Amino acid sequence: MAFHVMLIPTLGCPSNCSYCWSSEEGSELMSIETVEEVVKWLENFRDEPVTFTFHGGEPLLAGYDFYKRALPLLTESLSHLKPALALQTNLWNLTDEMAELFHEYGIPIGSSIDGPKDLNDLQRGEGYFEKTMKGYKIAKAHDLKVSFISTITSHSVNFKEDIFNFFLNDGLTLKLHPALPSLRDSNPEKMALAPEDYGKLLIYLLDKYLENIDDITVMNIDNLCKCVFLRRGTVCTYVDCMGDTFAVGPDGSIYPCYRFVGMPEYVMGNVRDHPTVEDLAKSAPAKLLEEYKNYVDQECSGCHYIKFCRGGCPYNAITPNKGEINGVDPHCTAYKMIFKEITDRANKEFLSSPAMGMFGASKSKEQDSKPSIMSLMLKRS
Ligand code: SF4
Ligand code: SF4
């Protein structure tokens, strides 16, 4: 797992998505002094390449001047860490000036669209689609690389074909995100995608992706196939993320990941104190996540997929239980379904490969006509 620091310039956000769990009205903005403290904190923290991701809330609320000062600070003062940069935004506030700056720093952008306009606006609010697409045009005009996350809810999963075709027809890169129970809602499960439905959706997307392999990228499926092929996790959900990922909130508080930002019980320290790796490891949240890792070693020990699943996301597992560890990531059912599907298909393909033909195995017509799962395992991202 690579070293990753997420910077959260604010928890504020101008949109009002129905399943949101991470924005906070009236949230403060990170000051440039806090970024300077981030630099001082990381100067001697770890001697290895770091990725900084600006996340939120909505990080563009911090404005052009913030990025104009923050980006050189991070890249020049920490040049020994070879910083890579990324940004997750709804694009509403993107201006030509900002896009030019992000292009100068080679920043890839992740944004969010749930599918066709009506479906998207039903979930994310009236007008969301137009505003994001306006920002997308600005991003494209400045040659920025943009990929989209589609949050799939208990409602939108019924329109999975429309969603897939929307991304396919517009040539957009798709990453999907299952809606999580919103801890800030009085009915947290309302929009959440049930694990079984998530598993079925992943298998559906695997099929659709194989049918359209040259015309779309489905990032989740790429990653899942690579996890099985390499027998290790290739994204944070499927590795032990603790100790390699940190998030810094607007006030300089350090958390284990952006998902915990704004939850005081998960504060590990503050950038102003320049904590060492050892200092953070002694904090209560670090100990809790270490406990989760040990719990996974025991609880998932009999699972075929433990090496490249690692119990899924600790946030998903721990926060709905108010900080108690009494289960793994509730999406376990979905992970097992898709890992089994990929493994079974890969084994079947291997057994009917030319090499195995020498031993009498033969390919079915159906296998001949479809791109193989191996082509996804080897596809360049
Ligand atoms: S807590 Fe979950 S989302 Fe955050 S880094 Fe870990 S696996 Fe990823
Ligand atoms: S699939 Fe489930 S049982 Fe297997 S490692 Fe992942 S969380 Fe554990």
pLDDT tens for residues 74-98? 999 999 999 999 999 999 999 999 9
Return the pLDDT at 322.
87
Q: CB-side exposure of 171: number of CA atoms within 13 Å? A: 2
- Answer yes or no: is pLDDT of 112 > 60: yes
CATH at 61: 3.20.20.70
The answer, yes or no, to whether any atom of ligand 2 lies below 6 A from the CB of 336, is: yes
The answer, yes or no, to whether any atom of ligand 2 lies below 6 A from the CB of 311, is: yes
What separation in Å is there between the alpha carbon of 324 and the centre of ligand 1?
17
What separation in Å is there between the alpha carbon of 236 and the centre of ligand 1?
6
For the stretch 123-181, pLDDT in tens is: 999 999 999 999 999 999 999 999 999 999 999 999 999 999 999 998 888 898 898 77
Q: Work out which ligand 1 atom sits closest to the CA atom of 242.
A: 6
What separation in Å is there between the alpha carbon of 36 and the centre of ligand 1?
25
CA distance 252 to 7: 9
How many Cβ atoms are within 10 Å of 106's Cβ, its own excluded? 11
Query: How many domains, in total, are found in the chain?
Result: 1
CA distance 222 to 242: 23
Helix (H, G, I), strand (E, B) or coil at 352: coil
Asked, for residue 295, whether it belongs to a domain, the answer is no
Task: Identify the residue with better confidence: 63 or 56.
Answer: 63
The answer, yes or no, to whether any atom of ligand 2 lies below 6 A from the CB of 305, is: yes
Asked, for residue 288, whether it belongs to a domain, the answer is no
Asked, for residue 318, whether it belongs to a domain, the answer is no
Return the pLDDT at 14.
83
Quote the domain boundaries for residue 116: 3-248
Which ligand has the minimum distance to the alpha carbon of residue 239?
A: 1
Asked, for residue 283, whether it belongs to a domain, the answer is no
CA distance 175 to 302: 30
Asked, for residue 304, whether it belongs to a domain, the answer is no
For the stretch 291-338, pLDDT in tens is: 999 999 999 999 999 999 999 999 999 998 889 999 999 999 999 999
Asked, for residue 341, whether it belongs to a domain, the answer is no
Helices and strands (DSSP H and E) totals, the chain: 15, 9
For the stretch 206-250, pLDDT in tens is: 999 999 998 999 999 999 999 999 999 999 999 999 999 999 999
Asked, for residue 139, whether it belongs to a domain, the answer is yes
What separation in Å is there between the alpha carbon of 241 and the centre of ligand 1?
6
CB of 315 within 8 A of CB of 292? Answer: no
At residue 356 the predicted structure's pLDDT band, cuts being 50, 70 and 90, is low
The pTM of the full predicted model, rounded to 2 decimals, is 0.90
Task: Identify the residue with better confidence: 137 or 13.
Answer: 137
The region of weakest confidence among 195-199, 293-297, 326-330, 350-354 is: 350-354
Phi, psi of 151 (to 5 degrees): -85, 120
Asked, for residue 343, whether it belongs to a domain, the answer is no
Alpha-helical segments (H) within the chain = 32-43, 64-77, 96-104, 117-124, 128-141, 160-169, 195-211, 219-230, 277-281, 284-299, 314-318, 332-351, 354-357, 365-369, 373-377
